[in-house]
Amino acid sequence: MANNYRKMNAADGARVELHDALGLTGAEVSVNVLPAGTGVPFVHSHKQNEEIYGILAGRGYAVLDGERVELNAGDWLRVSPATKRQFFAAETESVKYVCIQVKENSLGGYTADDAVL
């Protein structure tokens, strides 16, 4: 039933936001690629949304409230809303990551607790 799901491909592009493409109603998800030696050109925080970052490939680092945190493929990172953040690729290697943004403390149930069998 095509009305019950949407599918897209995010293999290409430096930044692909899935919110509109998939009709997301509870989260914002983006797939991002930073070329070697580059970074997100701004520092930001959020009012109420936490972000979860998954490093899909490559290496880089985040600066979180002034602290440098190294990131490698396979790492996952949760950042609270008020944390000031900025992301960078390594000098010699690009980094590809997914960012999932959701309202902090909004999860009502998960996995088996939310399943209907």
pLDDT in tens, 30-77: 999 999 999 999 999 999 999 999 999 999 999 999 999 999 999 999
pLDDT of 51 reads 97
Does the residue 75 lie in any domain?
yes
Residue 40 domain-assigned (yes or no): yes
Does 87 reside within a domain? yes
Residues 6+ apart with CB under 8 A from 39: 86, 87, 88, 89
Kindly state the average pLDDT of the residues 102-106. 91
Coil, strand or helix at 12: coil
Q: What does residue 4 show for φ and ψ, rounded to 5 degrees?
A: -95, -5
User: So what's the pLDDT on residue 1?
Assistant: 45
Domain-embedded: residue 112: no
Distance set, CA 24 to CA 6, 17, 28 (Å): 10, 10, 7
In a domain, 10, yes or no: no
Residue 15 lies in a domain: no
Q: Give a yes or no: residue 73 inside a domain.
A: yes
Q: Which residue range(s) make up the domain with 86?
A: 29-104
- Report the CATH number at residue 83: 2.60.120.10
3-state secondary structure of 112: helix
Question: Domains in the chain: how many in total?
Answer: 1
Q: φ and ψ at 98, to 5 degrees?
A: -105, 140
